[in-house]
Amino acid sequence: MSEALLQVENLSVTFRTQQGDVEAVRDISFDIDRGQTVALVGESGSGKSVTALSILRLHDEQVVSYPAGTIRYDGKNLLTLDEDTMRAYRGGKIAMIFQEPMTSLNPVHKIGAQLKESLLVHKQLSPEEATANAVSLLDRVGIPDPQQRMNDYPHTLSGGQRQRVMIAMALACKPDLLIADEPTTALDVTIQKQILELLMDLQREENLSILLITHNLNLVRRYADRVCVMQHGKLVEQADSETLFAAPEDDYTKYLLDSEPDSRIATVQPESESIVSAQNVRCHFPITRGFFNKQVDVVKAVDDVDLQLHKGETLGIVGESGSGKTTLGMALLRLTESSGRIRFRGHPISDYAEKQMRPLRRYFQVVFQDPFSSLSPRMTVDQIVSEGLKLHFPDMTRSQRQHKIIETLDEVGLDEDVLWRYPHEFSGGQRQRIAIARTMVLEPEVVMLDEPTSALDVSVQKQVLTLLADLQQKHQLSYLFISHDLRVVKAMSHRVIVMRSGKIVEAGDTEQVLEHPAADYTRQLAEAALYS
């Protein structure tokens, strides 16, 4: 067998910080052969991105050092090359695509110009040749009407199309190795699948080697030849895909494979009362133009949605980004202007002014997706959790309040001594627990969960879902579970509604909708998400 294209041997990467040196990657070795796809899998902080950036030496070398190991590309040790030689490798031989297609393209330049730039620099083509080359690249990555698209700005493209353009840019100089750092994490499930299929097609045609970095182990099952599992900067297991998924050896790998959400559906009393009901909910945002605000168009974020939520039940709302599911949630909470009738605990809250609504808010709470932006960074946990209590239970004494807070924190699995700490001192999962404690302390009846686990690592995701299910069972809570992740929704909800462009495509029992979808769209979604 010929020598591998990339050989990483005993690599360690150290960050110099004020608290001393931190070893982010410790003694890892792996090879990538030509035309092979190797996946680097691990949760956040496992050192997978650090490893990828080391291959291109994109770290700030003031802070990062490589105390041990080699990275050989075609036999040459990249770590000892000088900066000028290294530059020829970046983009030329090894290309990289990043997670966030929104920020990887420069918003003020046309796509064509951005694509041509590297062709002009690296390959010294004439402008005409570069244009022709760029058009054919866009065509290759499946952008429709590439000639026209050359003159478009990045903001006119969808997320998936932007990622395609990024891939086109990465391929412009015909690299041998493509490093894809979470290439599909920011994309909708159906588009994720398309992008990965595209990468695999390109790999077959060009004999590319791909290093795929991801936190999603199931994604890898289909596309990678070899899988390396990382944890805390160490490589814990490395094997062929088939072997690894058939017989994982390391405990951590087993744990990761096992962190698929289990079905945690609480039992609902039959004939339980309806607690939230909505008819013909619409959120239309007019697009106005000119000095006199003439209305030229309307965005129908939510269009004629009906729903019912019963006591103790979870209603899943699924859809891809832009389908209006979060806007619907905000409308039900009366945080966005909407028309239509919404009843909550028998109150016609769609007619209520904010003042009338306020006392009811205690019973209708919300947990947001991003635990980093949903907690005020300047408030301690004590302040965050006690705020609602002070408002809705003004008669409580200080010690009663303290008691209640500690009890709630205990319920969500946090210690008493977190009280004086600030949100930034916690991990994502702990922060989400704080956000849950903030809502639970008010003893709500309905909680809207807006993608509560999407920003969390898979293993933490499972813990948070378990916690939510336990709380539901214990307090007979009703959940409105908004998510794009069908597996999570499947594990949590009794009934589900599928939304697309503001409209309900399909609604019914979870089992029925996801296993035997009636609408084409639901079928596509289910196929892409569950790989069934």
Q: What is the contact surface with other proteins in residues (CB under 8 A)?
A: 330, 333, 335, 357-362, 364-366, 368-370, 373-380, 383, 387-388, 391-392, 417, 420-422, 424, 435, 438, 442
Measured at the alpha carbon of residue 429, what is the angle toward residues 245 and 433, in degrees to the nearest 5? 135
* 361 versus 404: smaller Cβ distance to other proteins: 361
User: To the nearest whole angstrom, how small is the minimum distance from the Cβ of residue 192 to other proteins?
Assistant: 25
Kindly state the DSSP code that residue 90 receives in the 8-state scheme. Answer: B
* 213 versus 385: smaller Cβ distance to other proteins: 385
User: To the nearest whole angstrom, how small is the minimum distance from the Cβ of residue 462 to other proteins?
Assistant: 23
* 143 versus 342: smaller Cβ distance to other proteins: 342
User: To the nearest whole angstrom, how small is the minimum distance from the Cβ of residue 434 to other proteins?
Assistant: 11
- Those residues whose C-beta lies under 8 Å from the C-beta of residue 440, and which sit 6 or more positions away, are 408, 411, 412, 471, 475
E strand or H helix that includes residue 388 = helix 381-392
What separation, in Å, do the N-terminal and C-terminal C-alpha atoms of the chain show? 36
User: To the nearest whole angstrom, how small is the minimum distance from the Cβ of residue 419 to other proteins?
Assistant: 9
* 111 versus 434: smaller Cβ distance to other proteins: 434
* 153 versus 422: smaller Cβ distance to other proteins: 422
User: To the nearest whole angstrom, how small is the minimum distance from the Cβ of residue 378 to other proteins?
Assistant: 4
CB-neighbour burial class of residue 417 (10 A; exposed 0-12, middle 13-18, buried 19+)? exposed
SS3 of 500-511: ECCEEEEEEEHH
User: To the nearest whole angstrom, how small is the minimum distance from the Cβ of residue 360 to other proteins?
Assistant: 8
Query: Do 230 and 54 contact (CB within 8 A), yes or no?
Result: no
User: To the nearest whole angstrom, how small is the minimum distance from the Cβ of residue 335 to other proteins?
Assistant: 6
* 204 versus 355: smaller Cβ distance to other proteins: 355
Alpha carbon distance 455, 399 (integer Å) = 35
User: To the nearest whole angstrom, how small is the minimum distance from the Cβ of residue 362 to other proteins?
Assistant: 6
User: To the nearest whole angstrom, how small is the minimum distance from the Cβ of residue 402 to other proteins?
Assistant: 14
User: To the nearest whole angstrom, how small is the minimum distance from the Cβ of residue 377 to other proteins?
Assistant: 7
- Bin 10: left if φ > 0, else alpha if -120 < ψ < 50, else beta: left
* 125 versus 357: smaller Cβ distance to other proteins: 357
- Those residues whose C-beta lies under 8 Å from the C-beta of residue 267, and which sit 6 or more positions away, are none
Half-sphere exposure of 308 (CA within 13 A, CB side): 8
* 37 versus 374: smaller Cβ distance to other proteins: 374
* 270 versus 377: smaller Cβ distance to other proteins: 377
| Torsion sign across C-alpha atoms 137, 140, 142, 145 | positive
> What single string gives the DSSP state of each residue in 181-196?
ESTTTTS-HHHHHHHH
User: To the nearest whole angstrom, how small is the minimum distance from the Cβ of residue 357 to other proteins?
Assistant: 7
Alpha carbon distance 233, 214 (integer Å) = 15
* DSSP reduced 3-state for 177: strand
Alpha carbon distance 498, 479 (integer Å) = 16
Alpha carbon distance 395, 63 (integer Å) = 54
Alpha carbon distance 155, 107 (integer Å) = 7
What is the residue whose two structure tokens read 């639970």?
A: 440
E strand or H helix that includes residue 28 = strand 20-32
The stretches of 233-276 forming alpha helices (DSSP H) are 241-246, 251-257
* 139 versus 387: smaller Cβ distance to other proteins: 387
- Relative orientation angle of helices 159-171 and 127-140, to the nearest 10 degrees: 130
Alpha carbon distance 29, 203 (integer Å) = 23
* 18 versus 263: smaller Cβ distance to other proteins: 18
* 125 versus 360: smaller Cβ distance to other proteins: 360
Alpha carbon distance 5, 156 (integer Å) = 38
User: To the nearest whole angstrom, how small is the minimum distance from the Cβ of residue 435 to other proteins?
Assistant: 7
User: To the nearest whole angstrom, how small is the minimum distance from the Cβ of residue 333 to other proteins?
Assistant: 5
Query: Do 172 and 130 contact (CB within 8 A), yes or no?
Result: no
* 56 versus 477: smaller Cβ distance to other proteins: 477
6-17/64-73 β-pairing: antiparallel
User: To the nearest whole angstrom, how small is the minimum distance from the Cβ of residue 447 to other proteins?
Assistant: 10
User: Which strand ranges, in their side-by-side order, compose the sheet holding 294-310?
Assistant: 294-310, 274-289, 339-344
Kindly state the DSSP code that residue 261 receives in the 8-state scheme. Answer: P
* 15 versus 422: smaller Cβ distance to other proteins: 422
